[in-house]
Amino acid sequence: MSIYQRMAREVKPHWHHLSIAVVCMLVVAGTTAGLAYLMGPVVDDIFVAGVTDPERARRMIVILPIALVAVMWIKGGATYSQTVLMVMVGQRIVADLRERIYAHLQELPLSFYDNTQTGLLIARMTNDVNLLRESVSSALAASFRDIFTIVGLIALVFYRDWRLAIIAMVVFPLAMVPFIKFGQLVRRISTRNQQATAEMANHMSETISGARVVKAFTAEKHEISKFKAVSQRILRLQLKEERVRALSSPTMESLGAVAFAVILGYGGHRVLTGAASAGTFVSFIAAVIMLYDPLKKLARTWTIVQRGVAGAERIYELLDTPAMVKDRPGATELTGFRESIQYRGVRFSYGREPVLKGIDLTIEAGRIVALAGSSGGGKTTLVNLLPRFYDLEEGEILIDGTDIRDLTQSSLRRMIGLVTQQTILFDDTIKANIAYGRPGATEEEIITASKAAYAHDFITELPHGYETHIGEQGVRLSGGQRQRLAIARALLKDAPILILDEATSSLDTESEYYVQKAIDNLMKGRTTLVIAHRLSTIYNAHRIVVLSGGRIVQEGRHEELLGQEGEYRKLYEMQFKSDN
Ligand code: ADP
Ligand code: MG
């Protein structure tokens, strides 16, 4: 399907508004031609007849002004209705597209986000969608109206004097050649401009959210010069685009003047020789002059359409990115967890290098299994496979004997609570953030969860307690407090399987104390997979699994593993020993 066909498909659901708009445009076109037509009687029936037939001239001097006003009013009404209708269609298309893009983004696999810059996506949602709107609504409206008007005026021109019209048809198209060329040029520049704008948005979002790092490394000057380079590039492209666009109408005008001169000369000659009446010629010239405006607008529309097409191409590229295959046909609901989680021969890679190379691991219900191993060993990857954040390449993961790929993703994820090193809180109230995984939770349940997460006390001290907005002025939560909110969130979700990925590793000793107590509450009665850097968590685990280079190299309890020569003892000496 071509890009134009796809763009047309966006417009199709709005056909009823569009058809009314088209009728209005026909009226606009008809009345415009009507005005040019009236110039004939104005000259012949008032001015010429004023000499030859004064009676008729006196009658017409009343009728024609009234006719002129009436035609103008009808044209005004139709222009208004047509504009409003087209704006409505355009804005609905925008709303529909951005909603579709957002919904599609939610369906895309995590691997997409690993490789995509946020700025780029924001540019798609805002800039490109708007370019598309401009092109389908204002441009579509304008081009329909202008084309109808042009057809109406050309018909009148032929009706008035076909010989003169043929000459006009030969000389005027010359004036149209530049706009096609300019359109293509604008489209090319616009694409480059868009890329640069996305780059700039991305650089901004990175350095603003990373302002602390920029300052810490005194990299302000570096970032400023980097920003300036992109900004200047955008400036140059924008100026170039505007220059091309600005050149488009003077070029047409200059060529149009030549065409007009030819017609004036030949037309004047015909009136002088008596081949045409003065009124016919004035009406002809009025129509030709009136043709200039829609032709010029059409040229401008063409460049807008070209920009819109460039935007549409980028939007469709995003919408065409394959969404994550949701559920297999016949996938079943996971209703509870009773026996065990089994990893069988699990292999996985993000790119070419395998990250997990054949993992066999069984976790019995109610157990705590700790994952240990040096950084980059694949611990996070291993736990992320369980909620199917990524799909395996080889092997299988079974929950109570069922392959997780045979379960619906939503029911699988409902069974799993997740607390990671980085807590994401949304710009909403504390209450809403805690209830994120269970929107229907009652006030009481939220408070109970917060108490168990050692969060209740600090929440009640906030200016508006549970109703405090996270982004509010003066609300600064510490890492430990944020983490306890995340734990309250997991407690409220009350999933039987729990994943803790270095939940305490970025905290200072004091906040770690409370977070650890909160985590102990959270682990009660759950099956837990814990990645920890603290020895106490590892002591309490029923089993420790040591990962290295994508394989399980050791398994057992703390004392057992410590007694063996191997990875665990090295790790212990390097990392855990300092804890006691
Ligand atoms: P650990 O949690 O044990 O530190 P990870 O599972 O995070 O280890 O990472 C294992 C390997 O996979 C590392 O080499 C890391 O660079 C790579 N990796 C992790 N996440 C991604 C990702 N989203 N895309 C590509 N490579 C990744
Ligand atoms: Mg990790």
- Nearest ligand by distance to the CA of 115: 1
The dihedrals phi and psi of 320, each to the nearest 5 degrees, come to -90, -10
Alpha-carbon torsion (177, 181, 183, 184), positive or negative:
positive
The CB of 115 under 6 Å from ligand 1? The reply is no
Distance (Å) from CA 288 to ligand 2 centroid:
73
Distance (Å) from CA 450 to ligand 2 centroid:
26
The CB of 378 under 6 Å from ligand 1? The reply is yes
| pLDDT(296) > 70 | yes
Nearest of 356, 486, 458, 346 to residue 404 by alpha carbon: 346
Share of the chain above pLDDT 90, in %: 38
| pLDDT(49) > 90 | no
| pLDDT(400) > 90 | yes
Is the separation of the CB atoms in 491 and 521 below 8 Å? yes
> Which amino acid belongs to residue 230?
V
Q: Please give the pLDDT value at position 415.
A: 94
Residues 6+ apart with CB under 8 A from 244: 182, 185, 186, 189, 303
Maximum separation of any 2 CA atoms in the chain, in Å: 125
Of 515 and 248, the structure prediction assigns the larger pLDDT to 515
Is the separation of the CB atoms in 459 and 430 below 8 Å? yes
The dihedrals phi and psi of 524, each to the nearest 5 degrees, come to -55, 125
Nearest of 205, 35, 225, 199 to residue 120 by alpha carbon: 199
| pLDDT(138) > 80 | no
The CB of 355 under 6 Å from ligand 1? The reply is yes
Average pLDDT over residues 336-344: 94
In angstroms, the CA 292 to CA 474 distance is 61
Average pLDDT over residues 216-233: 92
Q: Where are the alpha helices (H) located in 329-437, listed in sequence order?
A: 379-384, 409-414, 430-434
Residue with tokens 């190379």, as numbered in its chain? 357
Radius of gyration for the alpha carbons in the chain, expressed in angstroms and rounded: 36
Of 297 and 228, the structure prediction assigns the larger pLDDT to 228
Burial 467-488 (b: 16+ CB within 10 A, else e): ebbbeeeeeebebbbbbbbbbb
In angstroms, the CA 472 to CA 483 distance is 18
The CB of 350 under 6 Å from ligand 1? The reply is yes
- Nearest ligand by distance to the CA of 549: 1
- Nearest ligand by distance to the CA of 420: 2
Q: Where are the alpha helices (H) located in 161-216, listed in sequence order?
A: 162-171, 173-209, 211-216
Residues 6+ apart with CB under 8 A from 497: 337, 341, 386, 415, 416, 417, 526, 527, 528, 529
| pLDDT(244) > 60 | yes
Measured by CA distance, the residue closest to atom 12 of ligand 1 is 355
The edge-to-edge listing of strands for the beta sheet with 416-420 is 416-420, 497-501, 527-531, 368-372, 543-548, 551-556
In angstroms, the CA 324 to CA 2 distance is 25
Q: Please give the pLDDT value at position 211.
A: 86
The CB of 387 under 6 Å from ligand 1? The reply is no
Distance (Å) from CA 281 to ligand 2 centroid:
84
Average pLDDT over residues 400-411: 93
Is the separation of the CB atoms in 206 and 230 below 8 Å? no
| pLDDT(579) > 60 | no
* Best residue for ligand 1 mutational test, from 112, 114, 349, 350 (most atoms within 8 Å of Cβ): 350
Average pLDDT over residues 531-542: 79
| pLDDT(175) > 80 | no
In this structure, of 132-141, 323-332, 561-570, the range with the lowest mean pLDDT score is 132-141
Share of the chain above pLDDT 70, in %: 98
The CB of 342 under 6 Å from ligand 1? The reply is no
| pLDDT(580) > 60 | no
Q: Please give the pLDDT value at position 119.
A: 76
Angle at CA of residue 156, ends 154 and 162, nearest 5°: 80
In angstroms, the CA 545 to CA 288 distance is 86
In this structure, of 235-239, 309-313, 517-521, 537-541, the range with the lowest mean pLDDT score is 537-541
Q: How confident is the model at residue 264 (pLDDT cuts 50, 70, 90)?
A: confident
In this structure, of 55-69, 101-115, 151-165, 465-479, the range with the lowest mean pLDDT score is 465-479
Q: How confident is the model at residue 398 (pLDDT cuts 50, 70, 90)?
A: very high
In angstroms, the CA 226 to CA 204 distance is 10
**pTM listed for this prediction:** 0.73
Q: Please give the pLDDT value at position 157.
A: 87
Is the separation of the CB atoms in 68 and 38 below 8 Å? yes
Q: What is the DSSP letter of 580?
A: -
In angstroms, the CA 205 to CA 483 distance is 24
The CB of 113 under 6 Å from ligand 1? The reply is no
Q: What is the pLDDT of the chain when averaged over all its residues?
A: 87
CB atoms within 10 A of CB 396: 15
Q: Where are the alpha helices (H) located in 274-403, listed in sequence order?
A: 278-319, 379-384
Distance (Å) from CA 389 to ligand 1 centroid:
13
Burial of 521: CB neighbours in 10 Å, binned 0-12, 13-18, 19+: middle
Distance (Å) from CA 420 to ligand 2 centroid:
9
Q: Please give the pLDDT value at position 473.
A: 64
Highest mean pLDDT among 141-155, 249-263, 503-517: 141-155
Nearest of 82, 185, 193 to residue 137 by alpha carbon: 82
Quote the tokens at residue 54. 């004064």
Q: Please give the pLDDT value at position 578.
A: 60
Measured by CA distance, the residue closest to atom 16 of ligand 1 is 376
| pLDDT(287) > 70 | yes
